[in-house]
Amino acid sequence: MKKILFPTDFSEVAANAFIHALEFAKIVHGEI
């Protein structure tokens, strides 16, 4: 997996999910 698409509605919940997406991207050596 190279690229991760992260849809957002710019809410606080989405901001928290983005943090997890960043961590996931680090683990799989992908980019968002």
DSSP state of 31: B
- Is residue 18 within 8 Å of 12, Cβ to Cβ? no
SS3 28: helix
Identity of the amino acid at 14 = A
Q: pTM of this prediction?
A: 0.77
Domain region containing 5: 1-32
pLDDT of 19 = 97
pLDDT of 20 = 97
SS3 9: coil
pLDDT digits (tens, 9 = 90+) for 1-32: 699 999 999 999 999 999 999 999 999 999 99
pLDDT of 15 = 97
Number of domains in the chain: 1
pLDDT of 17 = 97
